[in-house]
Amino acid sequence: MRSRPIATIAVAAFALTLVAAISGWAAARKPASGPTTIQGGSVTSVIVVRQRAEQIMPAHNDWSDVPGATADVTVQDGTTALLLVRFSSGSSCLGPGIASPACLVRVLVDGVEAEPVLGNRSVWGQNCGGGSACYAALSIDRSVGPLDPGTHTVTIQAEPGHIQTLEFKGWSLTIERVQATP
């Protein structure tokens, strides 16, 4: 008879631990309800990657790297850093004769979306419809940090959507490494 209450207590303790762990994970992934602030000191490095040639990303519903829009940034031993990342381009979201869903662009650092994390709400441009191209000068700014020492990879990804293409008329990727302040 005694083993039954002990087994019940053990199962209950396990269930409570599982619920607490899941709740903690969900709270950690919950988007911030208000603005967040990070601060840094002086700019310690600037990397600029540029592409003059026109690039067209064909219609697809998966995130994929913008060819060439990547760079490695090194944070020196004994320091931490913030990265300020800007990607800009003359662009057009080209689709059929009716207005289509938006084309998306995001910034990844070490495979994780930089702040603010918007996922499938990271709108780059909207197809203007009518079957004609409408170009705009567009830019996205994201940040991440503080980052620990080591080499960190910055990558720009795009998702044109299933019925349209995303066209870049040249682009610029600028990464500023800033000394993190406590």
**31 confidence band (pLDDT: 50, 70, 90):** low
**For domain 41-180, which architecture applies?**
Sandwich (2.60)
Residue with tokens 């910055």, as numbered in its chain: 154
**4 confidence band (pLDDT: 50, 70, 90):** low
Is residue 7 pLDDT above 50, yes or no? no
Domain extents for the chain? 1-30, 41-180
- 9 vs 48: CA distance, rounded Å: 60
C-alpha torsion 7→11→13→19, nearest 10: 180
Please indicate, yes or no, whether the overall pTM of this predicted structure exceeds 0.85: no
- 31 vs 152: CA distance, rounded Å: 24
Closest C-alpha among 92, 93, 91, 73 to residue 83: 73
Q: What is the pLDDT of residues 84-116, one digit of tens each?
A: 999 999 998 887 755 557 889 999 999 999 999
- 176 vs 1: CA distance, rounded Å: 67
Q: What is the pLDDT of residues 108-161, one digit of tens each?
A: 999 999 999 998 888 888 776 666 667 889 999 999 999 999 999 999 999 988
Three-state secondary structure readout of 147-173 = ECCEEEEEEEEEECECCCEEEEEEEEE
